[in-house]
Amino acid sequence: MGTKLCVAFFLVFNICECRQYRYDYKFVTEVDGWIKLHQVPATWDEARLRCQLEGAILCSPNTINLVEVMKLTMKNTRAEISGVFTGTHAKFSKGDFHSVDGVPLDKMPVQWMPMEPDNEKNNESCIVMVRNGTIADINCDEVFPYICYRKRSEKVILTECGTVDTGYLLNSKTGSCYKFHLDKRNWTRAFMTCAAEGGHLAIINSKKEADLLKNLCEMQAPGSIQFNTIFMGFHDWGERGVWTTIHGQTLQEAGYDVFETGQPDSAFPGEYCGSMFTSSTLNDVWCDKSFSFICEKTVESLLDFNDYD
**pLDDT tens for each residue of 16-73:** 344 578 999 999 999 999 999 999 999 999 999 999 999 999 999 999 999 999 999 9
**pLDDT tens for each residue of 262-296:** 999 988 888 999 999 989 999 999 999 999 999 99
**DSSP designation for 58:** E
Query: Which pTM was predicted?
Result: 0.87
**Residue 158 scores a pLDDT above 90:** no
Query: What is the structure's pLDDT at 221?
Result: 62
Which residues make beta-bridge pairs with 99? Answer: 88
Q: What is the distance of C-alpha 300 from the center of its chain? A: 16
CA–CA gap between residue 299 and residue 161 (Å, rounded): 5
Strands (E), 8-134: 26-28, 33-42, 57-58, 84-89, 98-99, 126-129
Q: What's the mean pLDDT when you consider all of the chain?
A: 90
Q: Are 136 and 127 in contact (CB under 8 A)?
A: yes
Sign of CA dihedral 54, 55, 61, 67: negative
Q: Are 287 and 246 in contact (CB under 8 A)?
A: no
Which pairing describes strands 229-235 and 273-277: parallel, antiparallel, or unpaired? antiparallel
Q: What is the distance of C-alpha 190 from the center of its chain? A: 9
Percent of the chain with pLDDT over 70: 89
CA–CA gap between residue 96 and residue 223 (Å, rounded): 46
pLDDT confidence of 14, banded at 50, 70, 90?
very low
272 Cβ neighbours under 8 A, 6+ residues apart: 235, 236, 238, 240, 266, 284, 287
Nearest 5°: the CA angle 251, 290, 297 is 50
Which pairing describes strands 291-298 and 176-185: parallel, antiparallel, or unpaired? antiparallel
Q: Are 289 and 211 in contact (CB under 8 A)?
A: no
Which residues make beta-bridge pairs with 293? Answer: 181, 231
Query: What is the structure's pLDDT at 166?
Result: 93
CA–CA gap between residue 182 and residue 192 (Å, rounded): 15
Per-residue 3-state assignment (H helix, E strand, C coil) for 240-258? CCCCEECCCCEHHHHCCCC
pLDDT confidence of 104, banded at 50, 70, 90?
very high
Domains of the chain: 20-151 (3.10.100.10), 169-298 (3.10.100.10)
> What's the mean pLDDT in 224-253?
88
First to last CA, the chain: 19
